[in-house]
Structure 1
Amino acid sequence: MGEAIEQFFASLPARAPAVLRSPIRGHLQLDLTTENRTEHWYLELAPGTVRVTREQLPADAVFTVSADLFEELITGREQGMAAVLRNEATFSGNVVLFLVFRRFFPDPPGVRDPRETAREHVRRSG
């Protein structure tokens, strides 16, 4: 497993208060595959907090993706929903957990919030 993936999971508890603001609770299992091997990550999501373990526990939802594609997701070079729609990743269970979890993925490089772009335009025009 790549160092970027380890760092991503290690960063989740500190980032959770800013990312997990909705009242969603649940258990999400991430299965990262490499050839014939699967590594499991288990996340317990709650408002403002996430607990990350490597245990295999009952989950409300399971997200399965190759480790290579997951590295693309955590660097913003790929989008999670697009990967599922292309059938490069699978998701089963409570879809809301996946929608909440993907907020931890960064925006693609060079993407800007359109509201900030509009504010800059107003400042330059006015």
Structure 2
Amino acid sequence: MRRTRVAFFQALPAMAPSRLPARHGGVIRIDLAGDGDQERWYVEFSVGRARADQDDGERTAQVTITTTFSLFDALIRGEASVIGGSYRKDFGIAGQTPLYHLLRRFFDSSRSARDPRIRAQECRRHGLLWRESLEADLRRHAMRRAGSG
């Protein structure tokens, strides 16, 4: 999965103009660990631009993220949430946490997540799912009538 992480960090500069607000910037340090291995990435945001690299030296970062390889890969793919990782103590943030939200703009959105307001509209009376269920009932009723008459 290292290729997934490398591809994610390499794609940041191309995605930055459309995903970053114009006025925010700073440096995020991402410490990844697992299976006895470690990686450290630095992501620098500035006026609509992003740059990521692995640096062996210590740099000053406004926020540090600590997590596992598997959780970070799942975040990249949109298969996990930071909240769940935080509850399991697999994800930690220290420093200026609002800066983390800039990085979060680059993660795929969760494939299973849906806006609850849309779901409520679909399920309420005369909503899309209600109408589909009613139409299916009417078709079944019509087929029974046709078969018995």
Tell me the TM-score normalized by structure 2: 0.70
1:10 equivalenced with 2:7 (yes/no): no
Q: What is the root-mean-square deviation of aligned Cα atoms in Å?
A: 2.4
More helix as a share of residues: 2
Flag structure 1 segments of 5+ consecutive residues without an equivalent.
122-126
Question: Aligned with 2:105: secondary structure?
Answer: helix
Residue 68 of structure 2 corresponds to which residue in structure 1? Answer: 66
Residue 99 of structure 2 corresponds to which residue in structure 1? Answer: 97
> Which structure is richer in relative contact order (CA contacts within 8 A, separation 6 or more)?
1
Describe how 1:1-126 pairs up with structure 2 within 5 A.
Answer: 2-55=2-55, 56=57, 57-111=59-113
Partner Cα distance (1:109, 1:72) in 2: 11
Identity of aligned residues (%): 30
More strand as a share of residues: 1
Shift of 1:6: 1.0
Which deviates the most, 5-14 or 34-43?
Answer: 34-43
Largest Rg, 1 or 2: 2
| Runs of at least 4 residues off by over 6 Å | 113-118
Shift of 1:110: 4.9
Give the paired residue count. Answer: 121
